[in-house]
Amino acid sequence: MDNDTSVFLLLEFSDTWEIKIIYLTFFLLLYLMTITGNVLIISAVALDSQLHTPMYFFLMNLALQDLGSVSVIIPKAVLNLVMNRRYISYSGCVAQVFLFVFFLGCDIALLTVMAYDRFVAICNPLQYEMIMSRKICTKMVGSVWIVSFINAVLNTIGTFTNHFCSNTINQFYCEIPQLLKFACSDIYVIEIGYIIFIMILVFGCFVFITVTYAQIFFVVSRIPSVQGRKKAFFTCFPHLTVFSIFLVASSFAYLIPRPDKPSHFDFTVTIMYSIIPPMLNPLIYSMRNKDIKIALSKIFGLENRKWKM
C-alpha cells in the first residue's frame, strides 16, 4: 500500500490507543460544538420570519458553509481513528480537496460580503433597503457560490493532474500543500503559483474587511452614546481576530515550506485555519445577538425569558 498512489495514507496519530482516544475526543468535541452552533443559527433564521433580512440571510449561508467545511474533513478522521486505519481512496481524496476548497472559498467571500452589508447598514442607512434588496442579496450569495465552485475546480484539477511519487500525507485530511510535496511532475509549479495568487486575494479581502470596519467604527464613534461605541468595538474586534487567525494560519500552511515529517506545529496550524473559524463564527456573529436569542427561545418554548445583551 505504501507505493500505491490509488490509495493515500493519512496522518498516523499514534500507536498508543490511549493517545488515539484523546485525539478522538478532541475531534468529536470540536465537531459537536461547530455543528450545534451552526444548526441553531440555521434553525433560528429559517423558522423566525422576523429574521428574514439581509444580515441574517448571510448568516444562515455562512452557517451552511461552515457545516460543510468541517463535515468534509472531521468525520473521515474520526472514522479512521475508530477503525484503527489511516487510508483514503484516490477518489475520496479528490472529493475532499474539492469540497473543502469550495466551502473555504465560500466562507472568505461571504465574510467580505457581510462586512459590506454592515457598512451599508450603519454608514448609509437611508439607502440600505434599496442597495441590499432581496434580489441583490440573492445575486451576491449566488456569485459567492459560483466563484468558489470555479476556484475549487481549478485547484482540484491543478493538484491531481500531477503524478505523485508517494502516497503518504502528513496530515489528517487531503491538504493541498501536503499533496504537492510529493508531486513528481513540473505541473505543481502552476498550482503553487495559483495558490499564491489566491492568498493575495484572501489578503485583499482582509484589507477590505479591516477598512470597512474601521469606517464603521469611525461613524459610530461620533455618536455620544458610550453603549454605541462599545457595541461597535465588540462587533469589529472578534470578526477581525478570527479572520486574522485564518489568514496567518493558512499562510503558514500554504506559503511556507512544510517539513518532511509530521509535527505538532503543522497539526496546530491546520486546526487553526480549517476548524477553529467555523466553530467560532456562530459565537461571534449570532450567539451575542439579541434577535437570535429571542428566535431560539421561541423554538425551545422559552418565550417568556428575557434576553439581555
Answer yes or no: is pLDDT of 304 > 70.
no
Which of 56-65, 95-104, 124-133, 230-239 has the lowest average pLDDT? 230-239
Of the given ranges (63-77, 125-139, 140-154, 225-239), which has the lowest mean pLDDT?
A: 225-239
pLDDT at residue 1 above 60? Answer: no
All domains of the chain in start order, with CATH: 7-299 (1.20.1070.10)
Q: How many CB atoms lie within 10 A of CB 25?
A: 11
Identity of the highest mean pLDDT range in 21-25, 120-124, 240-244: 21-25
This prediction has a pTM of: 0.90
User: Would you place residue 30 in the very low, low, confident or very high pLDDT band (cuts 50, 70, 90)?
Assistant: very high
Name residue, grid cell 459565537. 283
- Residue 288: the pLDDT is 63
pLDDT of residue 309: 43
**Mean pLDDT lowest for which of 86-90, 178-182, 235-239?**
235-239
Where is pLDDT greater, at 306 or 212?
212
Question: Distance between CA 43 and CA 64 in Å, rounded?
Answer: 11
Other CB atoms within a 10 A radius of the CB of residue 124 amount to: 13
Question: Stretch 89-96: mean pLDDT, rounded?
Answer: 94
| Grid cell of 156 as nine digits | 482540484
Band (pLDDT 50/70/90 cuts) for residue 185 is confident
Runs of H (alpha helix) within 132-288? 134-160, 176-181, 188-221, 226-255, 264-274, 276-285
Whether the per-residue pLDDT at 305 is higher than 80: the answer is no
pLDDT at site 228 = 66
How would you class 271 by CB atoms within 10 Å of its CB: exposed for 0-12, middle for 13-18, buried for 19 or more? middle
Judge whether 72 and 100 are in contact, CB under 8 Å. Answer: yes
Query: Under a CB-based contact definition with an 8 Å cutoff, are residues 199 and 254 in contact?
Result: yes
Q: What's the pLDDT band for 4 if we cut at 50, 70, 90?
A: low
- Does residue 2 surpass a pLDDT of 60? no
CA distance 38 to 64: 7
pLDDT tens, 117-169? 989 988 888 899 899 999 999 999 999 999 999 999 999 998 998 888 888 89
Kindly report the backbone phi and psi dihedral angles of residue 88, in degrees, each rounded to the nearest multiple of 5, phi listed first: -140, 140
pLDDT over 90 at 64, yes or no: yes
Which helix (H) or strand (E) covers residue 112, if one does? helix 90-123
| 303: pLDDT strictly greater than 80 | no
pLDDT of residue 307: 43
Cα torsion 16, 19, 24, 27 to 10°: value is: -140
Q: Which residues of 75-97 are buried (b: 16+ CB within 10 A; e: fewer)?
A: ebbbebbeeeebbbebeebbebb
Angle at 151 between CA 141 and CA 70, to 5 degrees: 70
* pLDDT score of 133: 92
Q: What is the pLDDT of residue 252?
A: 83
Whole-number average pLDDT of the chain? 85
Q: What nine digits make up the cell of 256? A: 511556507
Report long-range pairs for 11-19 (Cβ below 8 Å, ≥24 apart). Answer: 11/86, 11/169, 11/170, 11/171, 11/172, 11/262, 11/267, 12/86, 12/262, 13/81, 13/172
Residue at grid coordinates 444548526: 39
Look at the chain and count its residues: 309
Lowest mean pLDDT among 42-46, 71-75, 102-106, 255-259: 255-259
Check residue 214 and give its pLDDT: 85
Query: 262 to each of 1, 8, 11, 256, 275, how far by Cα in Å?
Result: 19, 15, 8, 15, 19
